[in-house]
Amino acid sequence: MKPRYSKAATKTRVSVWGSVMRWSLALLLFGAMGSGGIWISERLQDPQSFPLKVVQIKGDFRYLDRKKLEQAMGEQLRGGFFTLNVEQLHAEILEMPWVAGVALRRVWPDTLLIRVQEQLPLARWGRQQLVTMSGELFQPAADEIPVGLPQLEGPEGSEREMVSRYRAMQSHFDVIGLRIARVQQDLRGAWIVEFTDRSAIRLGNRQVDQRLGRFIRLYPRLKMTGQGRPKQVDLRYTNGFVVHWEQDKLNEQSAIRPIKRNGLG
């Protein structure tokens, strides 16, 4: 005699088996996805899978040696498109003295774009350093220091003030055809300016702008006196100045032209 099954029991067994099949299929899918994820991760971590084929360096370089830049990068350019240590490479490039800033960007599928901003020196600072127009100091190798830069000398921490003062002074001296070779401020705050023609002025540490303006006004007249080239002008008097003349390389004389002497400063 065959067993008899009710319709309710049959439906229950079908429902159970359906649930088991759905869960089994879900587990298989999740397993496949997990295996695929591990495989993809391993592929991304393999430098040979997505190698960097092109490295583009962009920037306007006047002083920065591109070969030295490439050599500095060479040790860090290990890895593929996804495995390259961008932060470390960024830090390595930024350590170079002539580099002011750097930006790196991956370009799919095999390119690394590097934009480098070069330091722009305004003047020499001390014996071995250079200073930028913003007053930032940096120190390249001695044989990389450009020739012909003016010299700035001042107390530690006065870089920005010195740069600002130099630029303002040079704009005034341009009017009378003088180029600054050296600007010095000593610990007392006194200023000395030397020019490329080997002449100089002493401005002291008081009323510097007024004394500078006085020199700008008087310089054309000094050149017309017929006494030769003014070698040094001492403006440390309230209403006067002292001129040292240089008629030629072998004959040097001094002349004093005070208006009113009220002390030096």
- Residues 190-204 have a mean pLDDT of 96
Q: Which residues share a beta bridge with 111?
A: 54, 107
Q: pLDDT at position 156, please?
A: 93
> Of the candidates 180, 158, 153, which has an alpha carbon nearest to the alpha carbon of residue 167?
180
Which residues of the chain form CATH 3.40.50.11690?
121-257
Which residues of the chain form CATH 3.10.20.310?
54-118
Q: pLDDT at position 263, please?
A: 47
Query: pTM for the whole thing?
Result: 0.74
Q: CB neighbours of 63 closer than 8 A, spacing ≥ 6?
A: 98, 118, 119, 121, 140, 144, 146
Q: Other C-beta atoms within 10 Å of 11: how many?
A: 10
pLDDT surpassing 80 at residue 95? yes
pLDDT in tens, 44-78: 444 455 788 899 999 999 999 999 898 888 777 77
pLDDT in tens, 236-264: 987 788 999 986 444 444 444 554 444 44
Residues 215, 180: contact at Cβ < 8 Å? no
- Residues 183-192 have a mean pLDDT of 96
Report the CATH number of the 121-257 domain: 3.40.50.11690
- Residues 116-136 have a mean pLDDT of 96
pLDDT surpassing 70 at residue 20? no
Instruction: For the chain, give the percent of residues with pLDDT over 70.
Output: 74
Q: Does domain 54-118 have CATH number 3.10.20.310?
A: yes
> Of the candidates 16, 17, 263, 126, which has an alpha carbon nearest to the alpha carbon of residue 234?
263
